[in-house]
Structure 1
Amino acid sequence: MTDIFSTIIGSPIARRVGVPQPTRLRRYEPGMPLCEGPVLVAGGGRFADGLVTWLGELGIRAIRALDPNPSDSGEATRLGAVVLDLSEARDPQDLDALRVVGAPALRSLARNARVVVIGTDPATLGEVSHVATHRALEGAVRSIAKELRHGATANLVLAQQDSSDGVRSAVEFLLSGRSAYVDGQVIRVDDRTGANADAVRPLAGKVAVVTGAARGIGAEIARVMARDGATVVAVDVPAAGDALAAVANEIRGTALQVDVTAADAGRRIVDHAVTRHGSIDVVVHNAGITRDKLLVNMDESRWGSVMAVNLRSILQLNDAILAPGAMPDGGRIVCVASIAGIAGNRGQTNYGASKAGVIGIVDALSTQLAERGITVNAVAPGFIETDMTARIPFATREIGRRMNSLQQGGTPKDVAETIAWLAQPGAAAVTGQVVRVCGQSLLGA
């Protein structure tokens, strides 16, 4: 989505005078390679050898060190990715590997390259020095992400002692084009084992319910879920019936017209999914509205409607979805939060409160459902190019687009790709997480 300002800065004249140009991001399409160029796997942690073997099985060249004399070989290696495994670091001095190994590698990155650092989840460590060392990785990786250019991203995976499956799934996501707009994030993985799935259609055989699916981000979530093999139940209000039917027909799913705030909405969704398709394996709570106003001018209707749609409906729907006979063990619940729920937004006290409440649902429910193997996560979009953001006043819109490390807005597909990964069988080790899809927005944590 472009406007006159974007057109101007992308013009030949602007390029010639050196106006910074946002890099066209490498976004996933079925059949594309995991990453472009060799992957440097370094650091000597407990996951490195397994990752090298796995990359080799995918036909990707993994190297353990940079050529110290690239000019002698006549070829300068441009890295598609760097995976730095520091999971065995035990003292702050071990973090010098970020400088010794990382600095030369960063100079060798190709466009749209990936940097993934692996540490150990501090919550699983006892020694103060160990905890401090791995907590320090968060500040380091987020800072590295702000230094990278040309569409490159940096993210951190924090693992438990025996988290090979979870690490591999997270690294696969972060290396791929699915994570184009995920930058400066921390993903924690536990030691649960994820099931193997088809690389092209990882959701094959799954039934996914997507609320708010008639347009925008919700419609794109439905499309990506269907592309990845899921049978999708697209849910939206009756007023959006025509658009909802068009989406459902496009993806060969089914449409259900229901207001998620209705008392019987959960029962109707469960009855539809179970009767038509046999079960509910994935639920994406995407339905949401905004009714912006400064708090001093906020009326009961604006406050109550946002809370009802964005927050209370999720609680009510979950009561039905988690009842016996609906979602089986091993299911997936993914909520759409927002960076407004993390950093707040002027004029959006109601919206910010509702989205922070969504994060609270993820925190609490992920623990309660752990024994059933049901994961509960959220994505928190930043500035995403939609019809809604196109209506934002010009100056505010352009600032929002560019106040992130990638210097551009994201797309609905970026949000959908992250949700689809969290829904995959292989992501069983990721729960209780909020992944920001914001290009490392300068607003928020």
Structure 2
Amino acid sequence: MSNILESMLDSSMGRSMLKQVLPKSAPLNRYNPAQNSFFSGRVLLGASDNAALTDDIVRNLKASSASLFYPASGKGAAAVIAAAKKHDIIATGIELNAEMSDKFDALVFDASGFSDTTDLSQLYYFFNPVMRKISTSGRVMVLGRPHMQAETGEQAAAMRALEGFSRSVAKETGKKGITCQALYVEKGAEKNIDAPFRFVMSAKSAYVDGQVINVRQADAIDYPDWHKPLNGKVALVTGASRGIGESIARTLARDGARVLGLDIPQAEAELANVMTDIGGEVLLADISSAEAPALIAEKLKAMGGGDIIVHNAGITRDKTLANMPEHWWNMTIDINLSAEERINHALFEQQALNANGRIVCVSSMNGIAGQTGQTNYAASKAGVIGYVEYMADELLQRGITINAVAPGFIETAMTDAIPVITREIGRRLNSLAQGGQPVDVAETIAFFANPASSGVSGNVIRVCGQSLVGA
């Protein structure tokens, strides 16, 4: 009976019927080269008393095609006016009320000046009148300070509250394709917000929702060309022949990088086609082999050294733990986790990673939430997160950043093979009510790889449309 039902629902009429009863989703605006800048539209900017990031927010908006508005009666009005005057951008004051006809493409609130929990009322007064005034595919952003660097427990509580607030706003607005993120910016890292701010505001973050990005103090690097931020960079992408890996390679090349695509010998034809298309180079190797780390380091050095290392290659070998063969366990851990460690060690030891290098690892939502039949895979992907978080401090002292992405339901050949009912429900179990595209993962990796992301390290960003599963 189940097979008959599957066959019926997999027909064109069945798929149409299924979509009628499942949550509707809004089309997501994604990046295209015709966009003049990272953002175009109307931005409403609010700020708390003593907000410290407003000037740098306005400085970034100056580099966009934004029209700036602010609450005329808001506590931070004077700061917005001063920043607008300094950066020669027109800022228009308006009175916020639920009856106004104004619509906005982005709402941004600088909460970095919050001193205790009584300040949280400012979130209500800013957002409440305009929650129904956000355009489809709009952006919402709240900026604050890391709560563990607060001066008092009361201030820490106020700052940590921003995360719960932003995740909830994301869930309330996702059905319209609107995304909401929180940026926590260390004191002294104000000039490091450019890359994360522009990524979050842009169409490149279309499928990133309900996330927290931590910005640390580091040498600030001027934001490069929006369309070619990776010009002159050399990027290694493992598992680059198809799927998400192929999209990563194509996106990094689109952004100006020279790509070294690596995959196993069995994927030679597919990998060669991709590298030919993007002007990249081919490296055939099994990353779990003993000779792979030295081979990769040697090839990168011959290309002038690597600037961007993307550890994407991975496997699944799914069975419940009670039924899992030992070699499936060992193979999954070795390829998905241990091989990355060995490759990084060789790159450091042989100085094959250039100054201001970027390392990006691909984890998984199942590494965060766990999954039946994937104890080996989930362990390996959780291990990736632990490795990234531990290594961030050590590497940042050398000007190297390390971050991870954790994809959710991404539309690939693998997900196409999932039974129709499971697939149609699974792709909608997130705030945006749809599956992501491989390019969504690639755009997030390209953001981490950006030279201006010097203060972004130790982050794990879920590319999942704010999945209902996981943290």
**TM-score past 0.5 threshold:** yes
- Per the TM alignment, residue 173 of structure 1 is displaced from its structure 2 partner at its CA by 0.5
Instruction: Provide the C-alpha distance between the structure 2 equivalents of 1:333 and 1:340, rounded to a whole number of angstroms.
Output: 21
Q: Deviations for 1:255-302, whole angstroms, at most 9, x for unmatched residues? A: 100000011101111111221x21101100000000110111011121
CA distance in 2, matches of 1:195, 1:36: 23
Check if 1:153 corresponds to 2:179: yes
Query: 1:105 — aligned with what?
Result: 130
Residue among 136, 149, 154 paired with 2:161: 136
Report the Cα distance in structure 2 between the residues aligned to 1:379 and 1:46, rounded to whole angstroms: 29
Percent sequence identity over aligned pairs: 43
Match of 2:240, SS state, is: coil
User: 2-side partners of 1:262 and 1:52: how far apart?
Assistant: 50
Q: Secondary structure at the match of 1:284?
A: strand
Task: Describe the shift of the 1:204–1:223 C-alpha distance in structure 2 as closer, same or farther (beyond 3 A).
Answer: same
Q: CA deviation at 1:329?
A: 2.3
Instruction: State the Cα distance separating 1:70 from its structure 2 match.
Output: 8.5
Are the counterparts in 2 of residues 70 and 76 from structure 1 also a CA contact under 8 Å? no
Which runs of structure 2 are paired with 1:344-355 in the superposition (5 Å)?
344-355=370-381
Deviation at 1:368, TM superposition (A): 1.7
Check 1:8–1:76 CA distance in 2 against 1; reply closer, same or farther (3 A cut): farther
For residue 249 of structure 1, give the secondary structure of its aligned residue in structure 2.
Answer: helix
Q: Which residue of 2 aligns with 1:258?
A: 285
Q: Distance in 2 between matches of 1:9 and 1:27?
A: 29
How far apart are 1:48 and its partner, in Å?
1.4
Go from structure 1 to structure 2 and tell me whether the alpha carbon gap of 1:263 and 1:252 turns closer, same or farther (over 3 Å shift): same
Contact 2:45–2:68 (Cα < 8 Å) also in 1: yes
Pair 18,387 (structure 1): closer, same or farther in 2 beyond 3 Å: closer
SS in 1 for 2:371: coil
Alignment correspondent of 2:355: 329
Match of 1:381 in 2: 407
Partner residue of 1:392? 418
Q: Deviations over 1:48-84 (max 9, x none)?
A: 1332233133231111127338899xx8322111111
| The 10-residue stretch of structure 1 (83-92 or 390-399) with the greater mean CA deviation from structure 2 | 390-399
How big is the alpha-carbon RMSD for the aligned residues of Structure 1 and Structure 2?
A: 2.2
Task: Classify 1:7/1:56 alpha carbon distance in 2 versus 1 (closer, same or farther; 3 Å).
Answer: farther
1:302 and 2:328 are equivalent in the alignment = yes
Q: Which residue of 2 aligns with 1:224?
A: 251
Distance, in Å, in 1 between the alignment partners of 2:359 and 2:96 is 50
Alignment of 1:35-434 (within 5 A): 35-44=39-48, 45-65=51-71, 67-68=94-95, 76-148=101-173, 149-196=175-222, 197-275=224-302, 277-434=303-460
| CA deviation map 1:97-123 (0-9, x unaligned) | 221101222221001000000010112
How many Å separate the matches in 2 of 1:218 and 1:365?
A: 23
- The counterpart of 1:25, out of the listed 23, 28, 31, is 28
**8 Å contact 1:404–1:442 — kept in the other structure?**
yes
AA aligned to 1:25 is L
Q: Is 2:221–2:451's contact at 8 Å kept on the other side of the alignment?
A: yes
Q: 1:417 to 1:71 in 2, by over 3 A?
A: closer
Work out the CA distance in 2 between the residues paired with 1:176 and 1:389. Answer: 27
Offset, 1:243? 0.4
Q: Is the 8 A contact 2:364 2:408 kept in 1?
A: yes
Please tell me the residue identity of whatever aligns with 2:53.
F
In the aligned structure 2, how far is the partner of 1:115 from the partner of 1:5?
37
Cα pair 2:98 2:129 within 8 Å, conserved: no
User: 1:9·1:19 contact (CA, 8 Å) conserved in 2?
Assistant: no
* Residues 81-90 or 265-274, more deviating: 265-274
Structure 2: distance between partners of 1:95 and 1:193: 32
Q: CA deviation at 1:5?
A: 6.6
Tell me which amino acid in the other structure corresponds to 2:290.
A
Q: TM-score, normalised by structure 1?
A: 0.94
| Aligned counterparts of 2:351 and 2:391: Cα–Cα separation in 1 | 19
Per-residue CA deviation, residues 10-43 of structure 1 (Å, 9 max, x unaligned), is 96x999x897421110111123143342111112
| Letter matched to residue 229 of structure 2 | P
**Most deviating of 395-404 and 223-232:** 395-404
The answer to whether the Cα contact below 8 Å between 2:293 and 2:347 also exists between their aligned partners in 1 is yes
Q: Does structure 2 retain, via aligned residues, the 8 Å contact 1:179–1:418?
A: yes
Closer/same/farther in 2, CA of residues 69 and 145 from structure 1, 3 Å limit = closer
Runs of 5+ unmatched residues, structure 2: 1-7, 72-92
Return the alpha-carbon distance in structure 1 between the equivalents of residues 56 and 411 of structure 2: 38
| In 2: Cα distance, 1:68 partner to 1:344 partner | 47
Change (3 A) 1:242 1:14: closer
More divergent stretch after superposition (38-47 vs 81-90): 38-47
Partners of 1:105 and 1:84 lie apart in 2 by: 12
CA displacement at 1:366 relative to structure 2: 1.2
Q: Is the contact made by 2:9 and 2:15 (CA closer than 8 Å) also made in structure 1?
A: no
Assess, with a 3 A threshold, how the Cα gap between structure 1 residues 342 and 18 changes in structure 2: closer, same or farther. Answer: closer
TM-score, normalization by structure 2: 0.89
